[in-house]
Structure 1
């Protein structure tokens, strides 16, 4: 099978499902005469996207800035934290369970505090995106480092290689697949974190990001605008997920046997 045929075979099933769902959505709204302020049709959402495209694309750019910054911070801090927890068993036993709180505490509950601490605007949104997305990176890094082949670790010990050098030469390359898995999960969570952070801590008006547009549209019963902004946020999430997949493929192809 050629590469083009393989890509087509992987892409068409989800696209077909999306088309079917959109058609069913349209039929349900039309047949049951559901008011647009409750549930707009896909056609109405598409029309809104066309009419408000300049505003939506500018808002998406602002949300993308916060998302990418938060994701980058969670990637770096997550790998560093996961590595430290792997190298220091006492820290792993004492601190790692506490990181679960990052997943258990609802971001909506602490978002107002982030505004108090970091102010209204980009900083608080970046922190929100980082908080939501960092745990999968920590978990992926730690799992990867703890799964290193014991025989290879023994060889490094026999040659008296230090722990830091062993981490750099053996542990980190070995854990790449697990780290990439964590980053894939973090990519979607970073978008969610940024949007939720924007609900509370973003500027409105001409410089409003997607989260602020959603909040404003909800207050005015502009449901089609809400769905249009959600569609843009989803597209941003898919794009970031695709970039992580591409970067992961390059890393695996270059440094890991699983891609050979």
Structure 2
């Protein structure tokens, strides 16, 4: 009798597991939205009931109105910051991956150049931005260099670790079959490094935005307004706190969009074969 009941028990467990997965999938979106809605309501009631001045803390209604009335200017600033972040990230990917390949192919290259990569990483970008503004004619080029410096190291470090994390047994197998250096790199090291690279890409996407914002803050002080950070800085000088918070909201939204895109790319690239993505699907 127990043997006959086993398939039914197994089906019920599968149904319960599927039900829990659906509930978790719904909760993954509804819970953050609910928390955000409650926070906005509490914020609105606080500034309304206690009559908080807008120059101390503007309410969400005022910020929404500012987003509508100043949308043309804010959209142009968002485009500039987005372009700055995207170009810095692309440059970081090209430079980081290329240098990581060079490090894994030549020990002399790694010993020669890796210390300087570390120096770029640990040097505060806010101290470099004024110098770059002096030496470069374009304020955009100076800000782009700052953002690239911040985003470069995570991709270099993670990709280098990934390229060195190949399975020794597979490496011996490639040796037995007489694989060339480039065959090892393309067929063995690159797939092994892909999860590490994508992890570094998630970090670098956010850091590129941070570097762009910091560079805009520093360079924007000279009156060369660039993007959202420069607009935010100008709004603070004019005590236009509605526009200030609107810029802050757009910067945060841009960061969330970048992280979402990087996470989607990582999931699509790893979902069919890597343990981390397979575990999320279960």
* TM-score after normalising by structure 1: 0.87
Aligned to 1:15: 33
User: Which residue of the partner structure matches residue 148 of structure 1?
Assistant: 166
Alignment of 1:128-167 (within 5 A): 128-167=146-185
Alignment of 1:226 with 2:244, yes or no, is: yes
Partner residue of 2:6? none
Q: Cα RMSD (Å) of the superposition? A: 2.6
Contact 1:70–1:190 (CA under 8 A) maintained in structure 2 = yes
Task: Using the TM superposition, give the Cα deviation of residue 56 of structure 1 relative to its aligned residue in structure 2, in angstroms.
Answer: 0.8
Is 1:59 matched up with 2:77?
A: yes
Cα 1:105/1:38, change in 2 over 3 Å: farther
CA deviations 1:119-171 (Å, max 9, x no partner) are: 23321222121111111111210121122111111111222222232111111
Q: Does the C-alpha gap of structure 1 residues 9 and 161 become closer, same or farther in structure 2, counting only changes over 3 Å?
A: same
- Report if the CA contact (8 A) 1:204-1:213 is conserved: no
1:216 deviation in Å?
0.8
Residue by residue over 1:194-235, the C-alpha shift from the partner in whole angstroms, topping out at 9 and shown as x without a partner, is 112222335968x74212201211111222211111111111
Aligned residues: 258
Q: Tell me how far 1:41 sits from its aligned partner.
A: 2.0
- Superposed displacement of residue 34, structure 1: 4.0
Partners in 2 of 1:109 and 1:33 — Cα distance?
41
Change in 2 beyond 3 A, CA 1:170/1:212: same
* Partner of residue 126 from structure 1, selected from 136, 144, 150: 144
Larger Rg, first or second structure (1 or 2): 2
| Cα displacement (A) at 1:179 | 0.6
Matched, 1:171 2:195: no
SS in 2 for 1:221: coil
8 A Cα contact 1:115 1:200, kept in partner: no
Judging changes above 3 Å, is the alpha-carbon distance between structure 1 residues 58 and 156 closer, same or farther for their aligned structure 2 residues? same
Are 2:98 and 1:80 equivalent residues in the alignment?
yes
Q: Deviation at 1:251?
A: 2.3
Q: Alpha carbons of 1:31 and 1:163: their partners in 2 closer, same or farther (altered >3 Å)?
A: farther
User: Is the 2:81–2:226 Cα contact (8 Å) retained in structure 1?
Assistant: no
In the aligned structure 1, how far is the partner of 2:136 from the partner of 2:214?
A: 15
Task: Work out which of the residue numbers 210, 235, 260 in structure 2 matches 1:192.
Answer: 210
SS at match of 1:175: helix
Q: Which residue pairs with 1:216 in the alignment?
A: 234
Q: Secondary structure at the match of 2:135?
A: helix
TM-aligned CA deviation for residue 31 of structure 1? 5.6
TM-score normalized by the length of structure 2: 0.81
- Do residues 112 (structure 1) and 130 (structure 2) align? yes
Question: Would the aligned equivalents of 2:140 and 2:226 in 1 still touch at CA under 8 Å?
Answer: no
Quick one: higher RCO (CA 8 Å, sep 6+), 1 or 2? 1
Partner residue, 1:39: 57
Q: CA deviation at 1:99?
A: 2.3
